[in-house]
Amino acid sequence: MKDNIVTIDGPSASGKGTLARNISKYLGFEILDSGLLYRVYAYLYNCGVEHSQITKTINQDITFMSDDNGIVVLKEKNNITDELRKESTAKAASKISAIPETRENLLLLQRGFYTPKGLVADGRDMGTVVFPNAKLKIFLNASPEIRAKRRQLELQNRGQEVNMLALIEDIKQRDLKDKTRKLSPLIPAEDSIVIDSSEMTPAEVLSFTKKLTKKEFNK
């Protein structure tokens, strides 16, 4: 028996977050943005929290909430979402995600998001390592240039200006690190369906995915 889970893996800005939000709403499943957990991890570590204390600190001090723009993260009462979405935090998350202790600490925490109602989990290793028994596994890809354009728009909407060439270079560097690290590298699970969203609108990606969920979940 496979688990009631849709995993969506892929590189940054491939459209995973948007697809995860839309498909979780459509199916009525819970959602896990694992990249955000890695960002929270890096943020806390940079604030001086030791690896051994991070799971406890996340459970005690961090709250994940939803609003119209997506997930909002509070540390005690402070909204740290903008800080977490910065490219500097993304880089720190990519670096710390290659440390075995980080991945070990986050493994159980991520699995704890599963409820029998169902879960949509997006990240890099959701289908390969964290939820290998998921019913539907998607690997979403797009060219670095298209992803940089999407990330630029997202950052501009948050009031952050960025240099396009630097962004493309950052994305390529981060891809390389994520794909070549020893632990949980960014690769499609053998039983995943690979979608290249370079030439697709979010609505087209959603509509294609709904055909897959119809088959797997009858929804």
Q: For helices 34-46 and 51-61, what crossing angle results, to 10°?
A: 110
Place of tokens 């369906």: 193
- 116 contacts 4 by C-beta, under 8 angstroms: yes
Residue nearest to ligand DC (CB): 35
Residue 59 tokens read as 């459970």
Binders of ligand DC: how many residues, by CB under 6 A? 15
User: Which position among 29, 144, 178, 195 is part of the footprint of ligand DC (CB under 6 A)?
Assistant: 178
Stretch of 33-41, 56-64, 72-80, 146-154 contacting ligand DC, by CB under 6 A = 33-41
Closest approach of ligand DC to the CB of residue 203, in Å: 22
Q: Closer CB to ligand DC, residue 191 or residue 219?
A: 191
Question: According to the binding rule CB under 6 A, does residue 38 interact with ligand DC?
Answer: yes
**Residue 192: DSSP 8-state:** P
Question: According to the binding rule CB under 6 A, does residue 81 interact with ligand DC?
Answer: no
Question: According to the binding rule CB under 6 A, does residue 137 interact with ligand DC?
Answer: no
Q: Closer CB to ligand DC, residue 198 or residue 207?
A: 198
CA separation for the pair 196, 181 (Å, rounded): 23
Q: Closer CB to ligand DC, residue 63 or residue 100?
A: 100
- 127 contacts 192 by C-beta, under 8 angstroms: yes
CA separation for the pair 205, 140 (Å, rounded): 9
Place of tokens 């998350």: 93
Residue 159 phi/psi, 5-degree rounding, is 80, 15
Question: According to the binding rule CB under 6 A, does residue 170 interact with ligand DC?
Answer: no
Q: Closer CB to ligand DC, residue 98 or residue 211?
A: 98
User: Which position among 4, 7, 12, 141 is part of the footprint of ligand DC (CB under 6 A)?
Assistant: 12
CA separation for the pair 162, 165 (Å, rounded): 9
Question: According to the binding rule CB under 6 A, does residue 150 interact with ligand DC?
Answer: no
Q: Which of 140, 103, 133, 129 is nearest to 119 (CA)?
A: 133
CA separation for the pair 168, 38 (Å, rounded): 21
Question: According to the binding rule CB under 6 A, does residue 127 interact with ligand DC?
Answer: no
Question: According to the binding rule CB under 6 A, does residue 152 interact with ligand DC?
Answer: no
Site string for ligand DC, 106-125 (x = CB under 6 A): -----------------xxx
Binding site for ligand DC (CB under 6 A): 12, 34-36, 38-39, 90, 93-94, 97, 123-125, 174, 178
